[in-house]
């Protein structure tokens, strides 16, 4: 029996019966797959994307964006206001993320318990799972000598202003500091789901089909009984159908994919909660020009953070996380304002650019709906309160850049204002900071199938099992009732780890 | 806390209000495009759909000859150069690359992008006062049409312009001939980082 089968090579349909089937092999799905396999149950993981190896990661944007990202890197909210970058393939977004690791703050977990009826998920309850992930993924602080030019400038700005900041922790071992993390690691230094968890799952007897797109969850209205879908070829075209019968179905297809699949499958939803509560951590950037080359595209990205404007928990008034952002030429060209010759003149300052990002710990509640063919459509209209937070954050980014020595600062907006002094920045109207005027992006979709013990306010119980459809579990970022304000990957791994005993119990029921 | 489809704030309290008129769904937007294009087809489309030259070289994968011509025209303006040291969009082969990119898109995305191309060609010029289709305008007038989209009062058009711009730059800055002018030294594989 082959433990890993690439669906693109299938020559016929498949029908299988297993104890558990996991849909989507990003951080959460891969962790569930491993935990279930180690528990000795028969488990099959299904991933719509392909199986990618470091040898494929050639550090070219034009080839890696279509390979590693949903919709070729062009996924947008339905109103085309926010670009949403999500991974595709065995490993999901852990293939292309920058390896940031932070735990969910205890104030957020307390808020979930008090306001959202989440039980058994305090910081103490989760400690064992966070620690297990920390060891699995070798999470460590970035060494001081590995802070690159862009992050060094953020550090300098934080120091000059006397603000809060610090060095970040990542899951990387043997890093070559090439700066191509967002295009997949050619040096296999990312200690991610694809490198660590999926192989461990297979060592324990777990099976995987890549290129296997699940189209619907099978159920009888009260219990999940499996999934059905189609294998796809290199071009994404459907080839042969498959049907997997299982005692439990675990959703790990992300906060957008899992909810869309549940909705397309007519999973019972009597209180109309499925798909609601989508958070994105939407953000944008400020770019500073420096006299000396910064070469921000080289070295480890996002190794330093500024937390001066970030608080957590109910009623938090500062909700912006500031860190560096940088892209290679295509990503940079997409973010810089304008087009044509003027745009190209801006692009010529590429090596002299430092870019800081403001990411909103958002309150806006978006919604996932199942679009044509079951594909997720993301409705997200940013609230005025969140827009104000973004304005605060981008002004702060501007101050940091100027404090670090930038000769001018600009923003990715139509008729972008350029400022050269603190006084001009303080006087600047921030009215341009709004969707469709300012280029915005998001890399952390969360929510949409939230945890909680009240079926009227949540989709799954605090065990991770669906309130109405027994045997259906969620193990990805869909679970979070609010945004985290920190990068979610460590928490997604940890929650999947934390909930896996309930999955095993359900199989034995 | 407001949700996308059920704002519950009383009048005068804007803390939970949505920003801008982003409430028009993509589906509505696409339908509007469709309706407008049907009207265009019924009125002027038939007389404006000829005269596109088939591109030289290999067979197109996804674009028609007219769509290829539209992409070429858009690319030549969005990726217009500011100096002789940078290659043109035509030299880089942006339209040919976009053809391959579109061929790899799934159905709904591909359909939306092709409708957007028709919008640029047939309707966007009229929005800024030109009676001719986009591909027949001068470079300066084409810039005015694109600038009109970028700064449109309709938020979705601004968003659509951003998506189009991203697609063109993906096709342009993928070419290593464009990197020298930026000081970008490209992938490090095979070299010491």
Domain ranges, ordered by start, for chain B: 26-178
Record: contact B182-A348, CB cut-off 8 A: yes
Residue numbers in B near A329 (CB within 8 A): 173, 178-179, 182, 184
Answer whether B1 sits within 8 Å of A365, measured CB to CB: yes
Cβ within 8 Å, pair A340-B166: no
Q: pTM of the full predicted structure?
A: 0.91
**Cross-strand pairs, A216:** A228
Q: Do B171 and A62 touch (CB under 8 A)?
A: yes
d(CA A354, CA A286): 9
pLDDT tens readout for residues B25-81 = 444 444 445 444 444 434 444 445 567 877 777 799 999 999 999 999 999 999 999
pLDDT recorded at residue A480: 98
pLDDT of amino acid B105 = 85
C-alpha distances (whole Å) from A284 to each of A43, A408, A453 are: 41, 17, 35
Number of Cβ within a 10 Å radius of residue B105: 19
Whole-number pLDDT of residue B50? 65
Query: Two tokens at A183?
Result: 């295009």
pLDDT of residue A1: 64
Across the interface, do A383 and B16 touch by the CB < 8 Å criterion?
A: yes
Can you tell me the distance from the alpha carbon of A273 to that of A457, in angstroms, rounded to the nearest whole number?
Answer: 7
Between chain A and chain B, the number of residue pairs with CB atoms below 8 A apart is 194
Residues of A in contact with B174 (CB under 8 A): 60-62, 330
Which domains are present in chain A? 4-54+85-136+182-277+446-508 (3.50.50.60), 142-169+283-361+383-434 (3.30.410)
The answer to whether the beta carbons of residues A324 and A150 sit under 8 Å apart is yes
Chain B residues with CB-CB distance to A372 below 8 A: 107-108
Of A297, A422, A423, nearest to A354 by C-alpha is A297
Residue A360 CA to residue A390 CA, distance in Å, equals: 6
- Position B193 scores a pLDDT of 62
| Residues A370, A261: Cα–Cα separation, whole Å | 7
Task: Choose the closest CB to B187 out of A60, A276, A439.
Answer: A60
- The answer to whether the CB of A218 falls within 8 A of the CB of A224 is yes
Flag if A333 and B172 touch (Cβ within 8 Å): yes
* Structure confidence at residue B7 (pLDDT): 31
Q: How far is A232 from chain B (nearest CA, A)?
A: 12
State the nearest Cα–Cα gap between A433 and chain B, in angstroms: 10
Q: Which of A53, A56, A77, A78 to mutate to test the interface with B (most CBs of B within 10 A)?
A: A78
Instruction: Give the Cα separation of A446 and A450 in Å (integer).
Output: 9
Place of tokens 């969140």: A386
> Using a CB-CB distance cutoff of 8 angstroms, which residues of chain A are in contact with residue B97?
62
Give me the DSSP letters along A55-101. Answer: GG--S-HHHHHHHHBGGGGT-B-TTS-EEE--B-STTGGGGTS--B-
Nearest to B77 among A334, A340, A387 (CB): A340
From chain A, the residues in CB contact with B167 under 8 A are 74
Contact state of B19 with A377 under an 8 Å Cβ cutoff: no
- For residue B171 the two structure tokens come to 């096709």
Distance of CA A376 to the CA centre of its chain: 15
Q: What is the DSSP letter of A272?
A: S
* pLDDT tens track for B11-23: 333 333 333 333 3
Distances in whole angstroms, Cα of residue A173 to Cα of each of A99, A144, A176, A187, A189 = 11, 15, 9, 10, 5
Strand, helix or coil for residue A321: strand
Question: To the nearest whole angstrom, how far is the Cα of A251 from the nearest Cα of chain B?
Answer: 23
Q: How far is CA A158 from CA A164, A178, A317, A399, A485, in A?
A: 7, 25, 20, 9, 19
- Going residue by residue through chain A, which has 509 residues, state the pLDDT in tens, using 9 for 90 and above: 689 999 999 999 999 999 999 999 999 999 999 999 999 999 999 999 999 999 999 999 999 998 999 988 889 999 989 999 999 999 999 999 999 999 999 999 999 999 999 999 999 999 999 999 999 999 999 999 999 999 999 999 999 999 999 999 999 999 999 999 999 999 999 999 999 999 999 999 999 999 999 999 999 999 999 999 999 998 888 999 999 999 999 999 999 999 999 999 999 999 999 999 999 999 999 999 999 999 999 999 999 999 999 999 888 999 999 999 988 999 999 988 899 999 999 999 999 999 999 999 999 999 999 998 899 999 999 999 999 999 999 999 999 999 999 999 999 998 778 999 999 999 999 888 988 889 999 999 999 999 999 999 999 999 999 999 999 999 999 999 999 999 999 999 999 999 999 999 999 98
First and final C-alpha spacing in chain A: 28
Separation of CA B35 from chain center: 19
Query: What's residue A335's pLDDT?
Result: 87
Q: How far is A509 from chain B (nearest CA, A)?
A: 38
Helix (H, G, I), strand (E, B) or coil at A11: coil
Please tell me the distance in Å from A344's CA to the nearest CA on chain B: 6
Cβ burial B171-193 (10 Å sphere, 16+ → b, else e): bbbbbeebbebbebeebbeeeee
Q: Among A5, A479, A382, which Cα is nearest to A206's?
A: A5
Closest CA to B162 of A446, A437, A496, A158: A437
CB A223 within 8 A of CB A473: no
Report the C-alpha dihedral over residues A153, A156, A162, A164, rounded to 10 degrees: 50
- For residue A273, the chain B residue with the least C-alpha distance is B3
Q: Indicate yes or no: CB of B17 within 8 angstroms of CB of A345.
A: no
pLDDT tens column, B160-181:
999 999 999 999 999 999 999 9
Chain A positions touching B14 (Cβ under 8 A) are: 384
Dihedral, CA of residue A357, residue A363, residue A366 and residue A368, to nearest 10: 90
* Parallel, antiparallel or unpaired: strands A320-324 and A304-306: antiparallel
A contacts of B22 (beta carbons < 8 Å)? 79, 81, 381-382, 435-436
Integer Cα distance of A438 and B150 in angstroms = 11
Q: Could A330 and B170 be called an inter-chain contact, meaning their C-beta atoms sit closer than 8 Å?
A: yes
The DSSP symbol for A194 reads I
Q: Which residues of B touch A380 (CB under 8 A)?
A: 4
- Indicate yes or no: CB of A340 within 8 angstroms of CB of B2: no
Whether A297 and B104 lie within 8 Å, measured CB to CB: no
Q: Judge: B80–A375 Cβ closer than 8 Å, yes or no.
A: no
Residues A99-109 as b/e (b if ≥16 CB within 10 A, e otherwise) read bbbbbbbeebb
CA distance A366 to A277: 6
CB-based contact B20 A371, cutoff 8 Å: no
Pairing of strands A376-379, A366-370: antiparallel
Q: Please state whether beta strands A376-379 and A276-278 pair in parallel, antiparallel, or not at all (unpaired).
A: unpaired
What SS3 string covers chain B? CCECCECCCCCCCCCCCECCCCCCCHHHHHHHHHHHHHHHHHHHHCCCCCCCCCCCCCCCCCCCHHHHHHHHHHHHHHCCCCCCCCCCHHHHCHHHHHHHHHHCCCHHHHHHHHHHHHHHHHHHHHHCCCCCCHHHCCHHHHHHHHHHHHCCCCHHHHHHHHHHHHHHHHHHCCCHHHCHHHCCCCCCCCCCC
Q: Do A79 and B189 touch (CB under 8 A)?
A: no
Residues A40, A8: Cα–Cα separation, whole Å: 28
Contact A81 B22 (CB under 8 A): yes
């Amino acid at each position: 029996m082959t433990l890993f089968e690439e669906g693109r090579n299938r020559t016929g349909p498949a029908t299988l019966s297993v104890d558990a089937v996991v849909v989507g092999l990003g951080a959460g799905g891969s962790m569930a797959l491993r935990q279930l396999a180690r528990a000795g149950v028969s488990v099959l993981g299904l991933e719509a994307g392909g199986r990618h190896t470091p040898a494929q990661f050639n550090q070219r944007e034009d080839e890696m964006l279509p390979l590693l990202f949903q919709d070729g890197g062009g996924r947008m909210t339905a109103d085309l206001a926010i670009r949403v970058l999500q991974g595709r393939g065995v490993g999901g977004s852990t293939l292309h993320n920058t390896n940031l690791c932070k735990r969910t703050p205890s104030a957020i977990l307390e808020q979930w318990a008090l306001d959202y009826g989440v039980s058994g998920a305090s910081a103490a309850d989760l400690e064992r799972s966070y620690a297990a992930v920390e060891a699995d993924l070798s999470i460590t602080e970035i060494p001081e000598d590995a802070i690159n030019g862009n992050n060094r400038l953020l550090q300098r700005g934080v120091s000059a202003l006397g603000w809060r900041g610090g060095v970040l922790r990542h899951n990387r071992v043997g890093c070559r500091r090439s700066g191509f993390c967002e295009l997949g690691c050619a040096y296999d230094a990312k200690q991610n789901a694809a490198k660590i968890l999926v192989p461990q799952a297979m060592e324990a007897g777990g099976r995987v089909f890549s290129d296997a797109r699940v189209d619907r969850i099978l159920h009888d209205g009260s219990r999940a009984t499996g999934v059905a879908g189609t294998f796809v070829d290199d071009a994404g075209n459907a080839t042969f159908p498959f049907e997997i019968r299982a005692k439990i179905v675990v959703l790990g297809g992300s906060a957008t994919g899992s909810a869309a699949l549940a909705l397309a499958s007519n999973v019972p939803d009597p209180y109309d909660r499925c798909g609601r509560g989508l958070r994105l951590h939407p953000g944008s950037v400020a770019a500073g020009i420096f006299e000396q080359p910064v070469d921000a595209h080289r070295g480890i990205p996002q190794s330093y953070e500024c937390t001066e404007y970030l608080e957590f928990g109910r009623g938090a008034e500062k909700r912006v996380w500031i860190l560096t952002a940088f892209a290679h030429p295509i990503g940079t060209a997409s973010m810089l304002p304008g087009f044509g010759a003027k745009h190209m003149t801006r692009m010529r300052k590429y090596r002299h650019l430092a870019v800081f990002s403001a990411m909103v710990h958002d309150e806006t509640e978006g919604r996932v709906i199942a679009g044509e063919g079951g594909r997720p459509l993301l409705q997200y209209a940013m609230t005025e309160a969140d827009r104000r937070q973004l304005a605060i954050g981008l002004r702060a980014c501007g101050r940091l850049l100027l404090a670090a020595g930038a000769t001018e600062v600009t923003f990715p907006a139509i008729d972008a204002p350029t400022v050269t002094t603190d006084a001009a920045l303080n006087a600047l109207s921030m009215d341009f900071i709004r969707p469709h005027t300012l280029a915005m992006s998001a890399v952390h979709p969360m929510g949409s199938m939230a945890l909680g013990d009240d079926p009227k306010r949540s989709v799954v119980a605090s065990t991770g099992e669906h309130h109405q459809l027994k045997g259906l579990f969620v193990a990805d970022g869909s679970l979070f009732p609010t945004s985290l304000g920190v990068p979610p990957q460590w928490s997604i791994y940890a929650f999947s780890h934390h909930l896996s005993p309930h999955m095993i119990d359900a199989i034995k029921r | 806390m407001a949700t996308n489809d059920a704002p519950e704030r009383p009048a005068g309290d804007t803390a939970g209000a949505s920003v801008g008129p982003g409430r028009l769904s993509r589906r509505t937007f696409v339908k509007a495009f469709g309706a407008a294009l049907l009207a265009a087809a019924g009125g002027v489309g038939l007389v404006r759909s000829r005269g596109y030259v088939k591109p030289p070289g290999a067979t197109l994968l996804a674009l028609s000859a007219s769509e290829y011509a539209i992409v070429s025209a858009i690319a030549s303006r969005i990726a217009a150069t500011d100096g002789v040291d940078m290659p043109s969009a035509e030299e880089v082969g942006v339209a040919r690359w976009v053809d391959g990119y579109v061929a790899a898109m799934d159905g709904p995305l591909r359909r939306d992008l092709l409708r957007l191309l028709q919008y640029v060609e047939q309707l966007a010029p009229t929005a800024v006062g030109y009676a001719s289709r986009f591909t027949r305008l001068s470079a300066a007038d084409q810039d005015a049409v694109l600038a009109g989209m970028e700064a449109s009062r309709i938020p979705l058009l601004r968003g659509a312009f951003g998506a189009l711009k991203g697609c063109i730059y993906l096709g342009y800055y993928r070419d290593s001939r464009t990197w020298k002018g930026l000081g970008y030294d490209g992938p490090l594989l095979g070299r010491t980082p």
